[in-house]
Copies of this chain bind each other. A is one copy, B any other.
Amino acid sequence: MIRPGRTPLHIQLADIIRSQIESGVFNAGDQLPTEMELMKQHELSSSTVRQAVLALVGEGLLYRRAGKGTFVAKRHIGRDLLTFSGFSEEAVTRGFRPGTKHVTVDWHPADALVAAALNVPTDENVLTIERVRTIDDEVVAVETVSFVAAIGLLMEKLDLADTSLTEILERQLGVALARARQEIKAGVARAKLAKALDVSSGAAVLQIDRTAFDATDQVIYFSSSSYRADRYIYTGWIERTSASIAQPRQLIGGSR
């Protein structure tokens, strides 16, 4: 129940609606109760209700359609900036249902980018698995993962269509994934990628390149993934450490 106190009423109401969305009381596409209904239900003024709703619209949790009302937006599928987890694994943690729509598996000579990442000659054969990934049956990403031959030979015998590669590596092949170097870029989807992601040509995509290492610092895979920017967002907490200001005088000079 909402009571006057230290936390402003509109923030209390926004918190309640947010938790109703998170807990599934309201789902994506559901219409929110009207302003009048919310006023009655929570014994609040219209300006308080409006402020709470606007804040949630601002956060992207709700959207308004003129003359129709306020609706619950599709959730962005968050990914954590700081943890090294697989697509399926992280989706499940966040309450989504991951899947695969299409998979191709083939051996071909490494191109320059893959060869550099896997630390092999450019003409060496690598196993590449390309998968069109879904969340709750909606296509959200295209993932291309390349493995060095030693691991590729083991991987190709397994069912790769609809299983977490992270899990196959860790549980079936006994690989101890330890750390990864990750690059996050922005790009636009054209032609083939746009079609695969079911977006218009020119739509924004988040591009994640990842080079994964095991506990002995051997490269295990290089993956290059394109996520629909309207569905994916990378979030995380970052800490300020005074160590990062190494040379304050130089910094002052340089920043002018």
Contacts and interface: CB of A to CB of B under 8 A. Distances in A.
A58 B113 contact: yes
B54 A98 contact: no
A230 to B, nearest CB: 9
Contact of A187 (B83, B229, B236): B229
A188 B35 CA distance: 34
B116 A58 contact: yes
A113 B55 CA distance: 6
Contacts of A251: 88-89, 92, 164, 167
B88 A255 contact: yes
Total copies of this chain within the assembly: 2
Interface in A49-63: 51, 54-59
A29 B246 CA distance: 30
Nearest to A10: B121
Contacts of A119: 11
Interface in A1-51: 8, 10-11, 14, 51
Contacts of A204: 186-188, 204-205
A206 interface: yes
A184 B184 contact: yes
Main SS of chain A's interface residues? mixed
Nearest to A89: B251
A186 B99 CA distance: 23
Interface in A167-186: 167, 171, 177-186
Given A97-B254, A178-B239, A255-B89, A185 B167 contact: no
Contact of A182 (B84, B207, B235): B235
A186 B187 contact: yes
A84 B188 contact: no
Contacts of A237: 179-182
Interface string A238-256: 1111001111101110111
A84 B81 CA distance: 13
Interface in A194-216: 202-207
A93 B244 contact: yes
Interface of A: 8, 10-11, 14, 51, 54-59, 81-85, 88-89, 91-93, 97-99, 111-116, 119, 121-122, 162-164, 167, 171, 177-188, 202-207, 227, 229, 233-241, 244-248, 250-252, 254-256
